């Protein structure tokens, strides 16, 4: 958040939109089908708080393979969906469709959350000491698969207990934490070199610092200060303080962004992506077998596997090389390619799809779309970035994973509040009237919402998006 007058940055209203695969209740919505193609705002009743309470505003959201998490602005963490590995943090392995507060963290103010395939990690400030000068900030809590607990537990690894954690990212079976000093530690499985240790090994590995980065292949590895990280399925990416990108782990489908790899289909040490030299990268996201990044000028680059359209470059064409994996042809892009030249604000990667937020407020999706996770269109693949017009407000966070997507928006204006209220009362009977209001007051997002809703209803779509009654 930027400094300045409080009224400039405190949102008047926040909303969480979910859609996509819903077999385990990860979208927190009921429906006649196991997947829901239309993003719909979750009711505050799900979180047991009125619209005007502190919990009605949100700080962060995250998606796991079949579970979801949200951080309220009072520091509470809510989780829902699959819980087969204890990833919901409630001490059980019982899945649930409704958000529930993680009580183990009642003494903590959670600031951010990351979901792996079957685990979760959060960064939180301690509430235990009433003396604010003595509060312990940036503490890391982990739980779920490979984390040694089905309830949150404090984790320091090789960091000093006083180390402030700036970011944590969970992959399919590994986790990486970033300190405020720009140091990384990684733990979990390392069969593809995703822990960045210079070798592969079997079994669960303890935490260890990553301190060798290959800036130039003909020079000795060196220590680099890192500012951001992202874990994919079996690969990892990081941004340095000077905007360079480093990648390591499995790279057989081009997800590391190198023309060639040093160790068959993988890189065992963090290696700089040369194709992006001279371009300052400010944001990066890893998917299952693809990677995307956003430059300081708002350009989007992507690389890796795209047989399902997750790079947004269209069906297999001349810009791809074709490889063979398990006897099947695959489309891949082994070095970064420019996808959108400007205007990009945020990007996130699911397992096989990508979500993109633009500075003008538009949201786009591309990739595998069998459950509607990448696009509202009824198509199996969304080959190019396609508008997602159902979300009202300014996009603050994007999240995606196996087959579902989440968007967090907020509103800082009276106009935005009116848009929110109108979407709550819209129906087929008053749709024309609300669209007229949207047109009269230049409310582009509300107008797009009405247009999409009309098309949906006229094509026989369901308008019952209520949440389950019992919690």
pLDDT at 466: 47
Q: Are 80 and 98 in contact (CB under 8 A)?
A: yes
Phi, psi of 133 (to 5 degrees): -75, -15
What would the pLDDT profile of 49-64 be if each residue is shown by its tens digit? 655 555 568 999 999 9
CA distances from 126 to 72, 78, 167 (A): 16, 17, 16
Q: Which helix (H) or strand (E) holds 293?
A: strand 290-295
Per-residue pLDDT at 2: 32
Closest CA to 118 of 172, 178, 168: 172
Does domain 13-412 bear CATH number 1.20.1300.10?
no
Q: Residue range 258-285: average pLDDT?
A: 93
**If you average pLDDT over every residue of the chain, what do you get?**
88
Instruction: Indicate whether 338 pLDDT > 90.
Output: yes
Q: Compare 28 and 390 and report the one with higher pLDDT.
A: 28
What confidence category does residue 318 fall into, taking pLDDT thresholds of 50, 70 and 90?
very low
**37 vs 142, which has greater pLDDT?**
142
Which run of H or E residues covers position 156?
none
pLDDT at 365: 97
- Helix and strand totals (H; E) in the chain: 4, 29
pLDDT at residue 470 in the model:
44
Answer with the residue of higher pLDDT: 188 or 261: 188
In whole angstroms, what is the distance from residue 236 CA to residue 244 CA?
Answer: 14
Which residues make Cβ contacts (< 8 Å) with residue 278, sequence separation at least 6?
none
For range 318-339, the mean pLDDT: 65
Cβ atoms of 83 and 90 within 8 Å: the answer is yes
Residue 468 reports pLDDT greater than 50 = no
The average pLDDT across 129-155 equals 85
Q: Is the pLDDT of residue 132 over 80?
A: no
β-sheet bridge partners, residue 113: 122
Q: How many CB atoms lie within 10 A of CB 341?
A: 11
pLDDT per position as a tens digit, 208-223:
999 999 998 878 889 9
User: Can you give 346-358 as a three-state secondary structure string?
Assistant: EEEECCCEEEEEE
Give the model's confidence band at 284: pLDDT under 50 very low, under 70 low, under 90 confident, else very high: very high
Q: Which range has the worst mean pLDDT, 24-33, 120-129, 333-342, 379-388?
A: 24-33
Strand partners, 61: 70
pLDDT at residue 6, rounded to an integer = 34
Question: What pTM was estimated for this model as a whole?
Answer: 0.90
Measured distance CA(95)–CA(81) in Å, rounded = 6
pLDDT digits (tens, 9 = 90+) for 436-445: 888 888 888 8
Residue 422's H or E segment, with its range, is helix 414-425
Tell me how far CA of residue 38 lies from CA of 24, 54, 356, 453, in angstroms. 17, 27, 17, 9
Domain boundaries, the chain: 13-412
The total number of residues written for the chain in this structure: 471
Average pLDDT over every residue of 69-85? 96
pLDDT of 336 strictly over 80: yes
């Amino acid at each position: 958040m930027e400094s300045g007058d409080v009224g400039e940055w405190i949102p008047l209203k926040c909303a969480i939109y979910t859609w996509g695969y819903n077999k385990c209740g990860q979208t927190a919505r009921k429906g006649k089908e196991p997947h829901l193609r239309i993003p719909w705002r979750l009711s505050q009743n799900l979180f047991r708080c009125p619209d005007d309470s502190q919990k009605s505003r949100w700080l962060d959201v995250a998606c796991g393979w079949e579970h979801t998490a949200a951080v309220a602005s009072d520091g509470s963490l809510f989780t829902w969906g699959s819980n087969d590995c204890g990833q919901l943090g409630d001490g059980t392995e019982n899945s649930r469709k409704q958000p529930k507060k993680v009580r183990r963290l009642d003494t903590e103010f959670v600031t951010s959350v990351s979901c792996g395939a079957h685990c979760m990690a959060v960064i939180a400030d301690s509430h235990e000491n009433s003396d604010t000068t003595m509060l312990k900030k940036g503490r890391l809590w982990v739980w779920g698969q490979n984390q040694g607990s089905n309830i949150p537990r404090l984790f320091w690894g090789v960091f000093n207990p006083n180390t402030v954690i700036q970011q944590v990212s969970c992959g399919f079976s590994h986790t990486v934490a970033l300190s405020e000093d720009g140091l990384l530690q990684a733990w979990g499985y390392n069969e593809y070199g995703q822990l960045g240790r210079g070798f592969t090994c079997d079994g669960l590995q303890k935490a260890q610092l990553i301190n060798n980065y290959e800036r130039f292949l003909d020079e000795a590895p060196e220590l680099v200060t890192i500012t951001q990280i992202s874990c994919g399925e079996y690969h990892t990416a990081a941004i340095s303080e000077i905007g360079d990108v480093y990648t390591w782990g499995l790279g057989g489908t081009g997800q590391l962004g190198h023309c060639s790899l040093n160790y068959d289909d993988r890189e065992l040490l963090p290696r700089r992506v040369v194709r992006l030299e001279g371009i300052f990268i400010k944001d990066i996201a890893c998917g299952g077998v693809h990677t995307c990044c956003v430059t300081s000028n708002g350009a989007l680059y992507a690389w890796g596997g795209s047989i399902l359209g997750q790079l947004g470059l269209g069906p297999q064409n001349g810009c791809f090389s074709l490889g063979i994996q398990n006897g099947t042809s695959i489309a891949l892009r082994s070095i970064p390619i420019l996808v959108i030249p400007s205007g990009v604000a945020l990007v996130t990667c699911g397992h096989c799809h990508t979500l993109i937020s633009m500075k003008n407020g538009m949201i786009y999706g591309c990739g595998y779309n069998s459950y509607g996770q990448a696009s509202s269109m009824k198509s199996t693949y969304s080959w190019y970035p396609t508008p997602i017009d159902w979300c009202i407000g300014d996009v603050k966070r994007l999240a995606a994973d196996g087959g579902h997507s989440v968007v967090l928006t907020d509103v800082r204006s009276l106009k935005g509040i009116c848009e929110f209220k109108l979407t709550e009362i819209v129906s087929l009977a008053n749709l024309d009237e609300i669209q007229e209001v949207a047109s009269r007051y230049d409310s582009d997002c509300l107008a797009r919402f009405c247009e999409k809703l009309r098309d949906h209803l006229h094509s026989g779509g369901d308008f019952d998006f209520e949440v389950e009654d019992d919690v």
